[in-house]
Amino acid sequence: MEFLGIIPARYGSTRLEGKPLADINGKPMIQWVYEKAKIALKHVVVATDDERIIAAVKAFGGEAVLTSSDHTTGTNRCLEALEKASKIHKIDFDVVINIQGDEPMLHPEQVKTLVNCFEDPKAELATLVIPVTDSVDLENDSEVFVTFDKHFNALYFSRAVIPVVHGVERDKWMNHTTFYKHLGLYGYSVEALKKFAALPQSNLEMMEKLEQNRWMEDGGNIKIGITEHQSIPVDTLEDLERIRKII
């Protein structure tokens, strides 16, 4: 199978404008992500709507394509980037790996785990989860929780803590089950990506503000890969300073 890694990277951000170009110990953030992704994948491209990001990627020897500024989701940006990369490389890619451009702590093993989900011939979409090890995460409104079946197919994604441990005080829930939180890496078969991009927004998607629920509400399958590598997205200046110290 031919895999294409796509890193959507927008310059505009309400909380941290220009964050793909933010310096982290001498490299722009997008370079940290790109280099980690290239360890796991042969073909990786940055998809952006800004010439400054194109120039930065080319400066460190990476590959980037200019995409429309009208895209409302990373999924639609990925589809345009796929079409352009396919023409450039003259390859009919089978699977797209959507890698977040604001996660410089990306671990190559996370990408490999996602790739391995497609060993299942029925896999349409795939994403990563990580076990919750600190109960404070259950109180964090920014986390997204996931339940899945014994075949590692997602059942539901929610901003509420799921499952609920009925009849047990909340601070003791972790004694009764393992909770899983979602990490924002996705894999799509090319056909699934095209279908997903064409689907209208769904009720559960709009209520939870979670794009993946659109696919599930339409009856689609999402394969779950479990990783032990924590993800630290950069959304604010405080996040950026934390990452600089860690690296």
What tens digit of pLDDT does each residue of 8-46 get?
988 877 667 788 999 999 999 999 999 999 999 999 999
pLDDT at 161: 96
Q: Residue 201: what are its φ and ψ, rounded to 5°?
A: -60, 145
**What is the structure's pLDDT at 173?**
95
> Looking at residue 140, what is its pLDDT?
87
pLDDT of residue 14: 64
Q: How far is CA 238 from the centre of its chain?
A: 21
Looking at residue 31, its pLDDT comes to 97
- Which of 31-35, 151-155, 187-191, 197-201 has the weakest average pLDDT? 197-201
14, 237 Cβ separation under 8 angstroms: no
Answer whether 212's CB lies under 8 Å from 125's CB.
yes
- Both tokens of 30, joined, read 């997008």
What's the whole-number average pLDDT of the chain?
92
Q: What distance in Å separates the CA atoms of residue 111 and residue 128, rounded to the nearest whole number? A: 9
- What global pTM score does this model have? 0.91
- 220: helix, strand or coil: coil
SS3 123: coil
DSSP-based helix, strand, coil % in the chain, nearest 5: 40, 25, 40
d(CA 58, CA 60): 5
Inter-CA distances, 223 with 57, 115, 185, 237, 239, Å: 31, 11, 12, 33, 29
Stretch 218-235: mean pLDDT, rounded? Answer: 91
